[in-house]
Amino acid sequence: MRQEHNKLVRDLIPEIIRQAGHQCDTIILSESEYRQALRDKLLEEAQEAATANGKDLIEELADLLDVIDALMESHNIEQESILLTRDQKRAEKGGFTQKVKLLWTE
């Protein structure tokens, strides 16, 4: 039974599918399509991480980091830039260690 996926997958997934005796079709995305597909994948992986528990959470966070790494590479963003920006935001606005939940403002 044919299933439509139309999403970015890891590089070895088509070969794994074929080795399992199934058929699939793929295309290679342009750079702009790839960047959008990475953003879509980021949302997909974040949603999966948001509902995962235990070992599944570790796997989903690993997937999320992999997508972030690919996005950074695609946009030529160095990890040091991300870490510096994170540290600046922490210095200006704090982190999330105090578990503060904002209920309302006026």
- Please calculate the CA angle 42-65-94 and round it to the nearest 5 degrees: 90
User: What residue type is assigned to position 94 of the chain?
Assistant: G
The pLDDT of residue 38 is 98
The pLDDT of residue 43 is 98
Question: Considering the entire predicted model, what is its pTM?
Answer: 0.89
The pLDDT of residue 68 is 97
CB 70 within 8 A of CB 63: no
Burial status of residue 71 (CB atoms within 10 A of its CB: 0-12, 13-18, 19 or more)? middle
The pLDDT of residue 21 is 95
The pLDDT of residue 95 is 96
The pLDDT of residue 1 is 85
Q: Minimal CA–CA distance to 45: which of 69, 80, 28, 21?
A: 69
Residues of the chain with pLDDT under 50: none
